[in-house]
Amino acid sequence: MLVFWKEKLAFLSVPKTGTTAYHTALAPHASLVVNDPPELKHAPLYRYNRFFRPMFEKTGGGDIETIAVVREPISWLGSWYRYRRRPFMVGQRNSTHEVTFDEFVEAYMLGKSPSFANVGSQARFLEPRPNGLTVTHLFRYEEQAKLDQFLKQRLSVSFSLEKENVSPEIPLSLSPSVERKLRNKCADEFTLWEGATS
C-alpha cells in the first residue's frame, strides 16, 4: 500500500493486478510505503478501514480517498495459476504443476480451496464496509493508460513502469463448462470488474 498524504490518496495493492510495478515507481513520491508484511502491503479494504483509516482520521487525513486496480477474473486466476507454476515451485504445496487450469479453477470454486488454489478474492478484498467506506477510484488492469493518466495528474509526477513479479507466459484456456460455472458461482467477481469505471 502507498499513501500520498498531501494528495489525500491511498493506493491499495490488490494481488496480481500489477501494483508491485506502481509501488516501485511511485514509492519515492509517497508519504507512507507499506512493503512488509504481505498482510499489510496487500491490506484489503476491511483492514484499511480497521487499522489505517482511524489513524489517518486522528492525524487530520480523514478525507483520504482510496484507489485500487481490479483484473478480469479469468485473467486474474490465470495469472495466479501461472505464478504458481514457476520452476522452483515444483513439489511445493502451492504448486500448480500437477493440475490443469480447469482443475485449478474448479478447486478455487470449492468452499474450502486446497492450498494451491487458495488465492483469495478481488470482490472480498474490495468489499464495501458497513460504515459506507468504498474504494473511491477503481481502475481495470486492462486499461492501464487511464490509471497512469489519473496518477500523473493527481500526484503531479511523471513515472515509467518496469515489469515486476510477472507470471511465466503459458498458454491457458478454460473449458466452456468450467467458465459457465465460474461466472455463476463467482458472479460478484465479474460484477466488480465490469463496474470499474474510473
CA distance 60 to 152: 24
| Domain 2-194 in CATH 1.20.120 | no
Domain boundaries, the chain: 2-194
CA distances from 46 to 32, 159, 172 (A): 19, 29, 32
Taking only the tens place, the pLDDT of each residue in 7-31 is: 999 999 999 999 999 999 999 999 9
Taking only the tens place, the pLDDT of each residue in 85-94 is: 999 999 999 9
User: How many Cβ atoms are within 10 Å of 36's Cβ, its own excluded?
Assistant: 7
The cell numbers describing 109, all together, are 470454486
pTM: 0.92
The cell numbers describing 60, all together, are 487530520
pLDDT at residue 61, rounded to an integer: 66
